[in-house]
Amino acid sequence: MSARPQVQTGLDTGPRRGDGGPVQTTTLGEPVPATVTTPPGARRRLVGAALAVLLAVAGWGGWVWSHPRLLPDLAGTVALSAPTASGGSLATTMVYPTGDRETLVLESLRPVLDEPEAPGVGVAFAICHRLPDEDPPGAARDAAEHCRDLEPVHLPMRFVRGPDDLLVLTLTASRPGQVHVTGVDVGYRRSAAHLWQRGVQRVRVDAVLTVPG
């Protein structure tokens, strides 16, 4: 009797699992495929670490954005003695001219003094539209002598940082002793070209006014 031909039905007739799925079989000597799974606890730790990194980067970026560094610190010390015991003044340039022009909005100006509550002490700010070929005031009794026009600062106020305008600080004292300004916290907003960056920058200013006793 001849053998009956086998019929190819296209159906999988291999061994089945209890749930009806095919049983994975291997030929002797073949590598068994491995499935790597990450434990749930490890996944949570990875997600937590990634979130911590993202938050740290965002926090650093926010700090940098709110602490602009456009205005340079002043090098050296400026000092002046009042002519009499009744008091005097010291005017010095706080923001010098520059070749690059940018319009800022000054929002706050807070001087940093050795004795913030000292009586008889005043600090005022003005924008000096300087005279042609006139040097910016370094340690002057009156900044107006160096300016075409001296415009008192009334916050908020536009300030065009460039070759023509200066930001001047004037320190006054009406009592014997020494007044020392170590810096100014300047709050300002930059132009659209800098995406309106806004923040506070401490500018180093070392100015000393001495009134004789």
Q: Report pLDDT digits (tens) over 149-200.
A: 999 999 999 999 999 999 999 999 999 999 999 999 999 999 999 999 999 9
- Residues ≥6 apart with Cβ < 8 Å to 24: none
Q: What is the mean pLDDT of the chain?
A: 82
State pLDDT tens for residues 72-124: 998 889 999 998 889 999 999 999 988 889 999 999 999 999 998 889 999 99
Quick check: 106 and 187 in contact, CB under 8 A? yes
Question: Three-state SS for 47?
Answer: helix
3-state per-residue secondary structure call for 54-115: HHHHHHHHHHHHCCCCCCCCCCCCEEEECCECCEEEEEEEEECCCCCCEEEEEEEEEEEECC
Which are the contacts of 164, defined by CB distance < 8 A and separation ≥ 6? 97, 129, 130
* Domain 78-211 in CATH 1.10.287: no
**Sheet (strand 165-173) strand order:** 88-95, 165-173, 121-130, 147-152
| pLDDT for residue 61 is more than 80 | no
Q: Rg of the Cα trace of the chain?
A: 37
Which pTM was predicted? 0.70
> Domains of the chain: which residue ranges?
38-67, 78-211
Residues 173, 179: contact at Cβ < 8 Å?
yes
Percent of the chain at pLDDT exceeding 90: 52
Q: Using alpha carbons, list the distances in angstroms from residue 8 to 24, 25, 49, 191, 197.
A: 21, 21, 55, 78, 75
Cα-Cα-Cα-Cα dihedral sign, residues 44, 45, 47, 51: positive
